[in-house]
Amino acid sequence: MKALLITISVVLAAAFAFWREGIAELDDVGHFEWAVFTRAFLCGLVMVWIYLLPALLAEQRRHRNLVAILLLNLFLGWTFLGWVGALIWSIYRERS
C-alpha cells in the first residue's frame, strides 16, 4: 500500500509540474528551465502529500479501514469536509 501511495504522489506531482510550468517553456536562450520545473515538482509533491495525509496516517497506524479511508480521501478529499472526515477517521483509535 505504501508503494501505491508513493507512486500516486510522484505521478500527481509530475503532472502538476508539467501543467504548471509547461514542458515546452524555454528560457530566453532556448533551454528548458530545470530549476522552475524542479520547484513546481517539489511544490506539487508537498501538496499531494498533504492531500493524502489521512491515508498516510491510516497506513502508518495500520488502521483496519485503510482502503475505505483512502477511497474517501481520494474521492471526497477535495471538498475539505471529506478531507477532515478522513483525517479524523484515520487518527480515531478503535476500541479493542
The pLDDT tens digits for 47-95 are 888 999 999 999 999 999 999 999 999 899 989 999 999 999 999 877 7
User: What pLDDT score was predicted for residue 22?
Assistant: 59
Residue of 13, 26, 21 lying closest to 52 (CA atoms): 13
User: What pLDDT score was predicted for residue 57?
Assistant: 93
Residues forming beta bridges with residue 32, ordered by sequence position: 26
User: What pLDDT score was predicted for residue 79?
Assistant: 93
| pLDDT bracket for residue 7 (50, 70, 90) | confident
Q: Are residues 2 and 47 in the same domain?
A: yes
Q: Residue 32 is part of which domain span?
A: 1-51
Q: Are residues 4 and 44 in the same domain?
A: yes
Check residues 22 and 9 and name the one with the higher pLDDT.
9
Q: Are residues 57 and 47 in the same domain?
A: no
User: What pLDDT score was predicted for residue 40?
Assistant: 75
Q: Which H/E stretch holds residue 82?
A: helix 81-91
